[in-house]
Structure 1
Amino acid sequence: MNWQIKFALRNLQDNVKLNSIEHIRDDAIRIKLLDSSEVIVVISASYRITEELVDQYRADFPSMSFICGYRKECIWEGEAIKYAQENQIGWGNAGSLSDAIKSGDFINTEHKVYFFSYRLIRQMNSITNLDREYDRVFRMSLSNGKSYRVGMITDYEPTADVIRTFWDQFGPIDIAWNINPNRRPTQKAIIAGQELGCKVIKWDELKQLMRSS
């Protein structure tokens, strides 16, 4: 039994109400919910979830309802997200899986860290096209013809190093959007963004940019 399966079984048994949970084989588990319905969930230890990996999981477990990227560092590529959604497979992290179990809705569950912020973006009328490149990076085209590549920064109080590291990992972005609602980016983070050529902003500033467009 893989390490992530052991951790997932223990965590779910301790923190979520369900009837039973068992390891099937490889990266898959079977969960019996309180209403006696059963779902197949894949618990992946991959650092990066690609379309090819999701396709392989689907071939191995055709009836799976959810894929969990169990590592905290796990990154989902945009094509993997699109493939999962088109095939009615929920996706996300360990917290997302717990939420899916509590709600009973697996196939519509998305990565909880980015779900609310990305939903805000989807609701903006000024956006004519939206392309999700990674779980935390998207490109948006606005009605005025301008296009922006946006990175969602989750840190409580982003520093200059956070902005530079994100840039190095995901490539150039036009906007570093700090989606954590509790604090603001440091002044050094804003300056680092300016040096790289991107704005480091919060939701109100991003919303104003889109509305003015």
Structure 2
Amino acid sequence: MNWQVKYALDYLNDVGNLSAVHVDGDVIKIEAPKQPNVVAAISAEYTVDIGLAKSYVDSVPGLDFLCGYRAECVWEGATIEYLEDAGIGWGNIGTLASAAIKGDANSVGHKTFRFADRLLRQFGLIKSIEREFDRIYRVTLKTGKVLRIGMLMEYEPTAAGVRSLWDRFGRVDVIWCINPNGGPTTRAIEAADNLGCEVVKWEDLKALMKARR
């Protein structure tokens, strides 16, 4: 049994009334009261690309959910689109546990980014959205102006976090702190300014997009 599967089973069997068992390889099955069973694959990769996603879909009959176990796991945008079109949920182990309890494992996305994604898609001044990665969006406003937006989910994003996102994903126009209970540190704001972008919370991001109409 691979290490990530062992840790996933330990985690899930400690959650509420869930019961999780190993099936084969990276695949587990989860049972929850009054909900359909969930067949999930547990990946230990740092990046989930479309090739990896397709390999699981092709090899695991009835796959309901693909889990990226590592906290550092990054999901490519094409992977997210592919899984959503296929009716397969995706995200971290916490997302999987919640989905098994609620019975919506086939339709959920990573809970860390879910609310932020909804806010963007409901904002009236946006013409189109391209999701490059789970935390990187290319947003075209109705005026035709384009913003590349990166997301940081830490409670208090730091300068190191700002620089790490920039180094990993390239230039962005805005870094959005998506944790509603926190905000960027002064050094994070300074680091973003030195890179030529802004680090903001949602209200400031809305104001920025309105200003660029």
Q: Give TM-score, length-normalised by structure 2.
A: 0.95
Q: 1:199 to 1:97 in 2, by over 3 A?
A: same
Q: 1:36 to 1:198 in 2, by over 3 A?
A: closer
Give the 4+ runs in structure 1 shifted more than 4 A.
none
The amino acid across from 1:31 in the alignment is: I
- Residue aligning to 1:156: 155
- Residue aligning to 1:27: 26
The amino acid across from 2:11 in the alignment is: N
Q: Distance in 1 between matches of 2:181 and 2:35?
A: 39
Q: Distance in 1 between matches of 2:67 and 2:28?
A: 11
C-alpha deviation, 1:36, in angstroms: 6.3
C-alpha deviation, 1:185, in angstroms: 1.2
1:1-213 equivalences under 5 Å are: 1-18=1-18, 20-35=19-34, 37-212=36-211, 213=213
Q: Distance in 2 between matches of 1:69 and 1:75?
A: 8
SS in 2 for 1:131: strand
Q: Deviations over 1:125-175 (max 9, x none)?
A: 111110001111111000111100000111211222211111001111000
Q: Distance in 2 between matches of 1:112 and 1:37?
A: 20
Alpha-carbon contact 1:76-1:134 (below 8 Å) kept: yes
SS in 1 for 2:29: strand
Count, aligned residues: 212
Q: Distance in 2 between matches of 1:63 and 1:118?
A: 27
Q: Distance in 2 between matches of 1:42 and 1:142?
A: 37
Query: Runs of 5+ in structure 1 lacking a partner?
Result: none
Report percent identity of matched pairs. Answer: 45
Q: Give TM-score, length-normalised by structure 1.
A: 0.95
Alpha-carbon contact 2:50-2:82 (below 8 Å) kept: yes
Alpha-carbon contact 2:35-2:101 (below 8 Å) kept: no
Alpha-carbon contact 1:16-1:101 (below 8 Å) kept: no
Alpha-carbon contact 1:16-1:98 (below 8 Å) kept: no
- Report which stretch shifted further, 5-14 or 51-60: 5-14
Query: Runs of 5+ in structure 2 lacking a partner?
Result: none
- Report which stretch shifted further, 152-161 or 136-145: 152-161
SS in 2 for 1:139: strand
Q: Distance in 2 between matches of 1:105 and 1:185?
A: 33
